[in-house]
């Protein structure tokens, strides 16, 4: 089936009256970027909706991309026909015929933005409904729970006809909430945390702590791949890779092993904060979930939070591991996350990490280290990797 355009609905945005204009502009920009590989496509704003004119492109390919854009609630491939009642009837019939094997009931829902059109909405519904019933035997009208909604929108010289909605991702367009710094490990959780923050409009910058040679180049590549995968939902990502070997070695040499995780986390937060300020981010994001592992207790979070004044967002806080895994599978990061490469947290993992670290003990331990210098050096030696969508690095192989 060939369609002329795709109608996009953005539900929630319509409610936020004050910021509406900014939101729609950002959404249009994000859609245009996402569809840049189809140069003849054009995105048109209409009241409360957007239309993507396909200009000959395959609608399925375009839709599969639109399904990765936050802020879109509903997607429907549509026909654009001249506003004449007979043309509307023909197209509506074609729509029902194309789906007659799957449906037994339908309902016509019309909207007339152009009052010049000689039929009112209820008359359009009746005209089209009656015509379909006269042409196809085994379908009926069901005004409450139809299998197929036939939407007809008369807008000036042209009208749009489309069937049931395809669900979009929802949320807010990436960019409307400002930038955040995601602490991205190679694990399952942090990519999901980044995804969820972007779902609420956050633009991502990511930071990864890398302890070469304790952690391999492959472990780093895994993180690059995860960030690269996230670009399909969030657009460009600046990934910052921080050399962490020196800090980990120093902690290992000078501090109680039961406090090493806490101290290491505090370093991560200090460095992330410094990088966040440098790159214009207003919050840090982690993949922590309450009580999941020894270091993710409220006591631990208190001691770790104490080194920063930036908010630390933990979007997975209310989720079970299984829910996180399911979402990771859905967004496509799971397969990469479970590849067996070591993480800097596991390399020096103490036998008995403190689940309830105390602030004064932590601070006393840290006196044995030159914190400022270590943080500054790490920040200075940070590598910047800019990732953009549609540049999947296909050369690297794990095997």
Which residues contribute to the site for Mg ion (CB under 5 A)? 185, 187
Residue 106 pairs in a beta bridge with: 141, 148
Residues 32, 43: contact at Cβ < 8 Å?
Answer: yes
Quote the CA–CA distance of 23 and 77 in Å, as a whole number. Answer: 23
Alpha helices in 137-296 (DSSP H): 189-199, 217-234, 245-254, 260-278
- C-alpha 56/C-alpha 41 separation (Å) is 8
The nearer residue to Mg ion, 172 or 193, going by C-beta atoms, is 193
* Euclidean distance between CA atoms 386 and 278, whole angstroms: 15
Which of Mg ion, ligand ATP, none is residue 248 near (CB under 5 to 8 Å by kind)?
none
User: Of the two residues 108 and 206, which places its CB atom closer to ligand ATP in the complex?
Assistant: 206
* CB burial string 74-90: b at 16+ within 10 A, e below: bbbbbbbbebebeebbb
Which of 235, 232, 198, 236 is CA-nearest to residue 315?
198
Residue 344 partner contact from Mg ion, ligand ATP, none using kind-dependent CB cut-offs of 5 to 8 Å: ligand ATP
Minimal distance, residue 318 CB to Mg ion, in Å: 19
**Euclidean distance between CA atoms 362 and 367, whole angstroms:** 9
Residue (83 or 295) nearer to ligand ATP, CB: 295
List CB contacts of 376: < 8 A, sequence separation 6 or more. none
Q: How far is the CB of 264 from ligand ATP (least distance, A)?
A: 9
Phi, then psi, of 111 in degrees rounded to 5: -140, 135
Q: Which is nearer to Mg ion, 27 or 223 (CB)?
A: 223
Report helix, strand or coil for 264. helix
- Tokens 């690297």, residue located: 396
Of Mg ion, ligand ATP, none, which one does residue 188 interact with (CB within 5 to 8 Å by kind)?
A: ligand ATP
Least Cβ distance, residue 199 to ligand ATP (angstroms): 17
Residue whose CB is less far from Mg ion, 154 or 204 = 204
Q: Using CB distances below 5 to 8 A depending on partner kind, what does residue 263 bind out of Mg ion, ligand ATP, none?
A: none
CB of 185 to ligand ATP, least distance (A): 3
Quick one: tokens of 265?
């986390």
Which one of ligand ATP, Mg ion, none interacts with residue 357, CB within 5 to 8 A by kind?
Answer: none
Residue 293 interacts with, from Mg ion, ligand ATP, none (CB under 5-8 Å by kind): ligand ATP
Core vs surface per residue 27-39: b (16+ CB within 10 A) or e: bbebbebbbeebe
Q: Which listed option, ligand ATP, Mg ion, none, makes contact with residue 3 (CB within 5 to 8 Å by class)? A: none
In eight-state DSSP terms, residue 165 is: P
* Secondary structure (3-state) at 43: strand
Q: Which residues contact ligand ATP (rule: CB under 6 A)?
A: 183-185, 187-190, 207-209, 286-288, 292-293, 295-296, 343-345
Nearer to Mg ion, 110 or 185 (CB): 185
Closest residue to Mg ion: CB criterion:
187
Ramachandran class of 120: left when φ > 0, alpha when ψ lies in -120 to 50, beta otherwise: beta
- Nearest distance in Å: CB 247, ligand ATP: 11
Q: Which does 76 bind (CB under 5 to 8 A by kind): Mg ion, ligand ATP, none?
A: none
Identify which of residues 66 and 242 has a Cβ nearer to Mg ion in the complex.
Answer: 242
Pick between residue 203 and residue 265 the one whose CB is nearest to Mg ion: 265
CB of 343 to Mg ion, least distance (A): 5
Among Mg ion, ligand ATP, none, the one that 183 touches (CB under a kind-dependent 5 to 8 A) is ligand ATP
> What is the nearest approach in angstroms of ligand ATP to the Cβ of residue 59?
37
Least distance CB 315 / Mg ion (angstroms): 16
Instruction: Supply the minimum distance, in Å, between the C-beta of residue 344 and ligand ATP.
Output: 4
Q: Which is nearer to ligand ATP, 91 or 208 (CB)?
A: 208
CB 297 within 8 A of CB 291: yes
Burial class (CB in 10 A: 0-12, 13-18, 19+), 63: middle
């Amino acid at each position: 089936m060939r369609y002329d355009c795709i109608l996009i609905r953005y539900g929630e945005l319509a409610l936020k009256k004050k910021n509406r204009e900014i939101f729609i502009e950002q959404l249009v920009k994000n859609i245009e970027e996402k569809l840049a590989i189809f140069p003849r496509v054009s995105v048109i704003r209409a009241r409360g909706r957007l239309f993507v004119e396909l200009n000959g492109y395959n609608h399925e390919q375009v839709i599969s991309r639109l399904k990765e854009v936050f802020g879109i609630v509903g997607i429907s491939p549509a026909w654009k026909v001249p506003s004449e009642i007979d043309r509307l009837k023909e197209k509506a019939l074609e729509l029902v015929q194309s789906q007659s094997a799957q449906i037994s009931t339908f309902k016509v829902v019309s909207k007339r933005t152009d009052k010049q059109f000689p039929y009112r909405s209820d008359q359009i519904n009746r005209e089209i409904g009656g015509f379909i019933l006269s042409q196809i035997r085994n379908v009926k009208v069901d005004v409450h729970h139809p299998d197929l909604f036939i939407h007809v929108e008369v807008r000036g010289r042209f009208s749009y006809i489309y069937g049931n909605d395809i669900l979009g991702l929802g949320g807010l367009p990436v960019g409307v909430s400002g930038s955040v710094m995601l602490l991205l490990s190679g694990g399952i959780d942090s990519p999901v945390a980044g995804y969820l923050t972007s779902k609420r409009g956050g633009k991502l910058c990511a930071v990864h702590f890398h302890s070469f040679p304790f952690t391999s180049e492959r472990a780093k590549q895994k993180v690059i791949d995860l960030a690269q995968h996230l670009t399909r939902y969030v657009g460009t990502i600046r990934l910052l890779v921080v050399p962490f070997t020196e800090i980990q070695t120093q902690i290992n040499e000078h501090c109680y092993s039961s406090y090493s995780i806490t101290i290491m986390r505090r370093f991560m937060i200090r460095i992330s904060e410094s990088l966040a300020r440098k790159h214009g981010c207003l919050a840090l994001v982690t993949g922590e979930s309450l009580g999941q592992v020894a270091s993710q207790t409220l006591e631990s979070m208190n001691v770790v939070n104490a080194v920063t004044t930036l908010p630390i967002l933990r979007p997975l806080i209310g989720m079970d591991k299984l829910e996180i895994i399911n979402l990771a599978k859905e967004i496509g990061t799971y397969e990469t996350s479970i590849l067996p490469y070591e993480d800097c947290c596991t390399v020096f993992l103490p036998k008995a990490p403190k689940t309830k670290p105390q602030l004064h003990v932590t601070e006393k331990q840290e006196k044995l280290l030159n914190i400022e210098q270590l943080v500054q050096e790490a920040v200075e030696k940070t590598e910047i990797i800019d990732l953009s969508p549609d540049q999947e690095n296909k050369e690297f192989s794990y095997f």
